[in-house]
């Protein structure tokens, strides 16, 4: 059995979700969203993101983490800020000796829904289906996305393991 932390990075809202995988079966453990206060400076918000994420990792003790890769916005400033938040999201598990894997939004959607351009409702419905409807009813979209990232990693693990053994 392995515990996977999925992370959907953002400076304003970082979704997180923890699942357990036992062979081809998945079980929901927990999920939520980290929302650093808007009134804080950029550096304070990044520190807040790090501290919350560190607490989640310490509480749920994941074996591996999966993070969504950044897409480029039309606004360069927004892309840069997202990249900084993503840096914290990649760094925090790595500092705590948790291996981190990355997936593009299209990889995640294709793995979970079967189509690379699925909408958030389709992703959420499939996350609930794959986790045997054990996900709380009113879970925020960013947390559902994080669970999808964790599930994508769970599905990809067998092929990743074979690649690492070569």
Active site residue 22: no
**Given 20, 64, 68, 145, the catalytic residue:** 68
**Given 20, 64, 124, 142, the catalytic residue:** 142
Active site residue 8: yes
Cα distance between residue 162 and residue 158, in whole Å: 6
**Given 8, 20, 64, 124, the catalytic residue:** 8
Active site residue 51: no
| Residue 100: count of CB within 10 angstroms of its CB | 17
The CA distances from residue 134 to 32, 33, 114, 151, in Å, are 14, 18, 21, 14
Six-digit token string for 5: 């932390």
> Under a CB-based contact definition with an 8 Å cutoff, are residues 19 and 27 in contact?
yes
Cβ-proximal residues to 14 (8 Å cutoff; 6+ apart), any chain: 7, 8, 33, 34, 49, 52, 53, 85, 89, 142
Q: Just list the catalytic residues.
A: 8, 68, 142
């Amino acid at each position: 059995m392995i515990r996977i932390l999925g992370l959907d990075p953002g400076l304003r809202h970082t979704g997180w979700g923890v699942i357990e995988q036992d062979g081809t079966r998945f079980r929901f453990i927990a999920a939520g969203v980290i929302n650093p206060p808007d009134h804080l400076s950029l550096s304070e918000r990044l520190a807040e993101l790090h501290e919350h994420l560190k607490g989640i990792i310490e509480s749920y003790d994941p074996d591996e983490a999966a993070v969504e890769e950044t897409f480029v916005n039309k606004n360069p400033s927004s892309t840069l800020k997202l990249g900084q938040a993503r840096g914290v999201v990649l760094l925090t598990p790595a500092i705590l000796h948790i291996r981190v894997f990355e997936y593009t939004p299209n990889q995640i959607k294709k793995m979970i829904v079967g189509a690379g351009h699925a909408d958030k409702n389709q992703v959420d419905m499939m996350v609930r289906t794959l986790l045997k409807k054990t996900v709380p009813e009113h879970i925020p979209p960013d947390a559902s996305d994080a669970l999808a990232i964790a599930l994508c990693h769970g599905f990809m693990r067998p092929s990743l393991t074979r690649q690492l053994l070569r």
